[in-house]
Chains A and B, each alone.
Chain A
Amino acid sequence: MEIIESDILIVGGGGAGLRAAIAAAEKNPKLKIAIVSKVYPVRSHTVSAEGGIAGVLPNETSANDGDSLEQHAFDTIRGSDFLADQDAVEFFVKEAPREIIQMEHWGCPWSREENGKVAVRAFGGMSVKRTVFAADKTGFYMLHTLFERTLKYANIRRFDEWFVLKLLRDDARVTGLIAMDLRRGIIAAFKAKAVLLATGGAGKIYSFTTNANIKTGDGMALAYEIGVPLKDMEFVQFHPTGLPRTGILITEGARGEGGYLLNKNGERFMKNYLPTKMELGPRDIISRAIMSEIKAGRGFEGPHGAYVHLDIRHLGEKLIDEKLPLVREVAKDFEGVDPVHEPIPVRPVAHYFMGGVATNLRAETSLSGLFAAGETACVTINGANRLGSNSLAECLVFGRVAGEMVAEYAENNSVAINLSKDEIAQEEARIKKFLSHEGSERVAVLRESMQKTMEEHAGIEREKSSIQAGLEKIIELRKRAENIGLVDHSPIFNTEFVSALELKNMLLVAEAVLRSALNREESRGSHMRSDFPNRDDERFLKHLTLRQAQGDTSMVTTEHPVTITKWQPQERKY
């Protein structure tokens, strides 16, 4: 088998992965950096991020006066329902402005004020305007700017359309990984001093999601299977405004610019739930409000489920085309509605994982040499509910930190790495066997069943017996997945094979979500238990982590305290 050597391996080529690659390349031009991604980096899901990126720009450059790091930190912590680690949040808000300016220096076309300064818009849960944006294609512009920038560095080598099968480790630390080159259909081992996981979230465990097809929790599963814990997995964000037929995201920026949410009586119903914030509340509260309206019979009935209206007509065609062009584009193309003339049908949709691979402020995991950043990781700045526009900033801040850290780690650890030939041979044999396996289960059938289960048992509102039933179904599906048979036996670009491995990753993540959801007997942020409707700081002001048991495959839960620096937990009031 081919063995590819580099100093640093970055798995994933989205916002966090590319930012890390650039940071490492700039820190040390002699380091050999490899980006291993299952898609061309510009196809990564960062591309679909729309509304903006939060950060308190210095007053002399920003249109917004009177903001402070302290305020951004508190908004984030209150948004997290006091589960965020406050040292992480303080570090994050301090670094975010630098990253926003850094992106500008690299050419990212942020939207501007008339005087040429970077513009900001309002966002949910942010007490002042501090969200920088590039129309409503912020993630697209960031990803392409980062990608184009990576083309400058000779020491960044890309392995596009390689699927990672397994991480490798010895007793002390990570040593590399095994991956398949999808185009050539061959398996190779990658040897490296440090590995960064930046593979995004796992929204595809749900059937109704804003997430792209590639969001299958690969990094989370890879980390878990090598003995690294996952943290805060019960917290899945449901975005208030997805298009009912497809789940395609309509940005929070639409409300940031002044859009209304209306029930079928034409009422701005948020006045009954969060009168001080109205449509600019945090996502968990707004999604629950929409579900309450629908339950009370005040939603609209449609062929793809009940929905409410997002009305931006009063903003006018000029503003919509200038600041929300993608909203108009996708509403027309995918829902057949022109928001300049009609309200947009929307309903809550699975969107983002607050949880992920447990890391510290330096993006380190519990395994020496293994790092994680972006949605894959859980630092945690998001706690029980992320504020919109904090995730792009998180990708940059912790992507940069991770890039510097992997570079430093690679510089300081020059011990010879020996990959186990037996382990590599075993993996190669396993993959060959799987490719030709004639099992009776089909990927598409199991995937649909998993997605339906998660919608039903791990949605916005949860309850003990339902979570338990969901968990049993997922465990059963994991067993059945061992008997998947492929129809496509070719090693060349075998997307059925990739889907099967992605499904196994997703099932692992799904089980983690349900287990943690079962264990957390309280309601906090996005995790709403109808049988435990209140927040319970006495029992649950803590993180739940899951790790693989020694010797068998069961999941073991451990607890970790929340780091409190300045802000004592209080009732979450707006």
Chain B
Amino acid sequence: MAAAGTQILVKRYLSQSFYQTYEIRFQEDITVLDALNCIKAEQDPTLTYRWSCRMGICGSCAAVVNGKPVLMCQTYLGNLKQPVKIEPLRNFPVIKDLVVEIDDAFEKMRSVNPYMEHMKKKALEEGEYEQTPAQLEKLKQTSQCIKCMLCYSACPVYGFDKNFIGPAAGALAYRYNADNRDESKKERLDTVIGEKGVWNCSFVGECSNACPKRVDPALALQRLKLMGSLRLVTSLQ
């Protein structure tokens, strides 16, 4: 495999922001994350970014690469237009270089009560709640969210209004409301149909395009709108 050379532009933020250019030679099969690890080890130990599993499941290495929010560990340098430009996720405050503060998105997730409630609790000795493969299928797509927050970076509504609960929190609410075993659906729905909730979603679908796990939060938000409408109608009767 032939090595090629390229320039990598990283948007850095130390006390102020600036773009720094690094030159590297690389093999076709290296990822953007591999490239940053190389730069950090060999050229510039101050370059700062998060990473961990390097297999697309922990959600640490989110960044905007050539304008698109991606996980750097599964984005190959050879497939990108060069020079490659790497920037921090949008819509979050930057702490240092590519590291952003995402606590707000985690708090949005907390706000939808993402845990199962049962009206009549089974004792552990009574075994599991039943769920057929068909019932499991209903929550499968939204349950794949790894909380990488790429969708918040892509979401124009969240960019404009930080009160909007946003795509991943919506998908998480849907995941529990789509679960046949859960019995707190009404309460959870109330958390997402208020003024900060799903109605603000303009369904541009950027979140779903950005999702590395094909969760389709935009679809989840539309379904929550439908569930919310039904709840409003039934509560008026």
A interface residues (Cβ-Cβ under 8 A, vs B): 39-40, 42-45, 47-48, 57-58, 60-61, 98, 101-102, 104-107, 109-118, 137, 140-141, 144, 148-149, 151-152, 160, 183, 212-214, 245-246, 248-249, 303, 326, 329-330, 333-334, 336, 442-444, 448, 486-488, 490, 492-496
Q: Pick the contact of B179 from A107, A213, A442 — CB < 8 Å? A: A107
B55 beta carbon closer than 8 Å to chain A: yes
Docked-complex contact A492 and B96, CB < 8 angstroms: yes
CB-nearest residue of chain A relative to B55?
A: A248
Q: Is B96 a contact of A493 with CB atoms below 8 Å?
A: yes
**Interface pairs (17), CB distance under 8 Å:** A40-B102, A40-B106, A43-B58, A101-B124, A105-B122, A105-B124, A109-B139, A109-B179, A115-B132, A117-B128, A137-B144, A140-B57, A212-B52, A330-B55, A486-B45, A487-B46, A496-B40
Q: How far is the CB of B76 from chain A (nearest CB, A)?
A: 9
Asked if residues A107 and B115 are in contact (CB atoms below 8 Å), the reply is yes
For the complex, is B172 an interface residue (Cβ under 8 Å from A)? yes
* B53 interface hit (Cβ, 8 Å): yes
Is the Cβ of A148 less than 8 Å from the Cβ of B172?
yes
Q: Contacts A212-B54, A213-B54, A496-B46: A118 and B116 contacting too (C-beta < 8 A)?
A: no
B158 interface residue (CB < 8 Å to A): no
Instruction: Tell me whether B56 and A333 are in contact (CB under 8 A).
Output: yes
Interface residue from A101, A137, A248, A249 paired with B128 (Cβ < 8 Å)? A101
CB of A487 within 8 A of CB of B45, answer yes
Contact of B59 among A43, A149, A442 (CB under 8 A): A43
Asked if B110 CB lies within 8 Å of chain A CBs, one says yes
Q: Given A246-B54, A488-B46, A492-B95, is A148 in contact with B101 using a C-beta cutoff of 8 Å?
A: no
Nearest to B132 among chain A residues (CB) is A116
B156 within 8 A of A: no
Q: How far is the CA of A213 from the CA of B181 in the complex (A)?
A: 36
Contact indicator B147/A42 (Cβ below 8 Å): yes
User: Which residue of B has the minimal Cβ distance to A62?
Assistant: B127
Cβ-defined contact, B132 with A487, below 8 A: no
- In the complex with contacts A104-B129, A118-B128, A303-B1, A183-B59 CB distance below 8 A: no
- Note all chain A residues with C-beta closer than 8 A to B115: 106-107, 148-149, 151-152
- Chain B residues with CB under 8 A of A48: 53, 55, 57-58
A444-B40, A496-B46 known; A116 vs B130 contact (CB < 8 Å) = yes
Taken residue by residue from 55 to 76, chain B's Cβ proximity to chain A (1 for < 8 Å, 0 otherwise) reads as 1111110000000000000100
Give the chain B neighbours of A151 by CB distance below 8 A: 109-110, 113-115
With known contacts A105-B122, A486-B45, A487-B46, A42–B136 Cβ distance under 8 A: no
List the A residue with the shortest CB-CB distance to B56.
A333
16 A-B pairs besides A107-B182, A213-B52 with CB distance below 8 A are A39-B50, A39-B52, A43-B53, A47-B58, A58-B127, A61-B128, A106-B115, A107-B115, A114-B133, A116-B130, A144-B145, A144-B147, A214-B52, A448-B41, A490-B96, A493-B48
Report A-chain residues with C-beta under 8 Å of the C-beta of B132: 112, 114-116
Contacts A107-B181, A117-B128, A151-B110 given; indicate if A141 touches B41 (C-beta within 8 A).
no
The answer to the question of B140 belonging to the interface, with a C-beta cut-off of 8 Å to chain A, is yes
Please, which residue of chain B has its CB at the minimum distance from the CB of A152?
Answer: B115
Residues of A within 8 A of B195 (CB): none
Whether A333 pairs with B147 at a CB distance below 8 angstroms is: no
CA–CA, A142 and B128, complex, Å:
16
Smallest beta-carbon distance B38→chain A, Å: 10
| A112/B136 in contact, CB under 8 A | yes
Looking at B41, B42, B102, the one whose CB has the most chain A CB atoms below 10 A away is: B41
Contact yes or no, A39 B60, CB < 8 A: yes
Q: Could you tell me the distance in whole angstroms from the C-beta of B159 to the nearest C-beta in chain A?
A: 22
Known: A107-B181, A116-B132, A496-B45. A98 touches B52 (CB 8 A): no
Q: Is B84 among interface residues, defined by CB-CB distance under 8 A?
A: no
A254 to B41, CA, bound (A): 35
Mark out the residues of chain B between 110 and 162 whose CB falls within 8 Å of any chain A CB in the assembled complex. 110, 113-116, 118, 121-122, 124, 127-133, 135-136, 139-140, 143-147
Identify which of A42, A104, A490 contacts B146 (C-beta below 8 A).
A42
Chain A residue numbers with a CB within 8 Å of B51 are 213
**Least distance between B12 CB and chain A CB atoms (Å):** 12
How many Å from the CB of B178 to the closest CB on chain A?
11
Which residues of B are found within 8 Å of A246, using beta-carbon distances? Answer: 54-55
Bound Cα distance A490, B14 (Å): 9
Asked whether any CB of chain A lies closer than 8 Å to the CB of B99, the reply is yes
Known contacts A42-B146, A101-B124, A105-B122: does B29 contact A336 (CB below 8 Å)? yes
Give chain B nearest CB distance to A334 CB in angstroms.
7
Which chain B positions have C-beta within 8 A of A43? 50, 52-53, 58-60
Q: How far is the CA of A42 from the CA of B53 in the complex (A)?
A: 11
Contacts of A245 in B (CB 8 A): 29
Closest A residue by C-beta to B31: A334
B176 adjacent to chain A (CB < 8 Å): yes
B18 to chain A, nearest CB (A): 15
Residues of chain A with a CB closer than 8 A to B104's CB: none
* From B14, B49, B95, B135, contact of A183 by CB (8 A): B95
A465 to B53, CA, bound (A): 34
Is there contact, CB below 8 Å, between A137 and B45?
no
In the assembled complex, the Cα of A140 lies from the Cα of B144 at a distance in Å of: 9
Residues in A with CB closer than 8 Å to B58 are 42-45, 47-48, 212
Smallest CB–CB gap between A47 and chain B, Å? 5
- Nearest chain B CB to A468's CB is how many angstroms away? 29
B172 to chain A, nearest CB (A): 7
With A101-B124, A105-B122, A107-B176 in contact, is A334–B55 under 8 Å at CB? yes
Residues of B within 8 Å of A486, CB to CB, are 45
| Residue interface mask B161-190, A partner, CB < 8 A = 1 | 000000000001000100101100000000
CA distance in complex: A29, B109 (Å): 22
Residues of chain A contacted by B181 (CB below 8 angstroms): 107
A470 to B136, CA, bound (A): 50
Q: Is the Cβ of A117 less than 8 Å from the Cβ of B130?
A: yes
- In Å, the complex CA distance between A117 and B129 comes to 8
Write out the residue numbers on chain B whose beta carbons fall within 8 Å of the beta carbon of A104. Answer: 128-129
A494 to B48, CA, bound (A): 7
Q: Are A101 and B52 in contact (CB under 8 A)?
A: no
Distance in Å: Cβ of B95 to nearest Cβ of chain A: 5
Question: A110 contacts which chain B residues (CB < 8 A)?
Answer: 128
Nearest-neighbor residue (CB-CB) of A151 within chain B? B110
Task: Tell me which residues across on chain A come within 8 A of B23, comparing CB atoms.
Answer: none
Instruction: Say how far B93's CB is from chain A's closest CB, in angstroms.
Output: 10
Minimum Cβ distance to chain A for residue B30 (Å): 10
Partner of A106, one of B46, B116, B133, B144: B116
Report the minimum CB–CB distance from B29 to chain A (whole Å): 7
Residues in A with CB closer than 8 Å to B124 are 98, 101-102, 105
Chain A's closest residue to B40 (CB) is A444
Cross-chain contact of A493 among B53, B57, B99, B130 (Cβ < 8 A):
B99
Smallest beta-carbon distance A98→chain B, Å? 5
Expressed in whole angstroms, the Cα–Cα distance for A334 and B57 within the complex equals 13
A141 vs B144: C-alpha distance in the bound complex, in angstroms?
8
* Residues of chain B within 8 A of A44, CB atoms compared: 58
User: Considering the chains assembled together, what is the distance between the CA atoms of A471 and B107 in angstroms?
Assistant: 47
Contacts of B106 in A (CB 8 A): 40
State whether A330 and B56 are in contact (beta carbons under 8 Å apart), knowing that A140-B146, A303-B1, A444-B40 are contacts in the complex.
yes
Query: What separation, in Å, do the CA atoms of A141 and B146 have in the docked complex?
Result: 9
